[in-house]
């Protein structure tokens, strides 16, 4: 792993620690440019909300179980 990648990962640690869960699953689909972050084991949501910033908040009841970030590479 290149040093620059390690530095980027290190800078993200405070954000990762602020997640609403101590376990998270992160997947990135390069072809679709979609980032999936799950705060529960990946499972279907009962509801979702698309926000104007191209972020989909996925819920089970009132609990946020994950987010989907569309056009993820454009946020770097």
Whole-number pLDDT of residue 65: 92
Tens-digit pLDDT string for the chain (76 aa): 577 788 888 888 898 888 888 888 999 999 999 999 998 887 789 999 999 999 999 999 988 999 999 999 998 6
Q: How many CA atoms lie within 13 A of 19 on its CB side?
A: 17
Domain ranges of the chain: 3-75
Whole-number pLDDT of residue 72: 95
pTM: 0.80
Q: What is the Cα 11 distance to its own chain's centre?
A: 16
């Amino acid at each position: 792993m290149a040093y620059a990648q390690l530095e980027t990962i290190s800078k993200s640690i405070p954000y990762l620690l602020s997640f609403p869960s101590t376990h998270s699953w992160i997947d990135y689909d390069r072809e679709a440019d979609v980032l999936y972050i799950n705060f529960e084991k990946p499972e279907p949501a009962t509801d979702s909300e698309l926000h104007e910033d191209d972020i989909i908040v996925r819920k089970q009841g009132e609990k946020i179980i994950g987010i989907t970030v569309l056009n993820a590479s454009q946020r770097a």
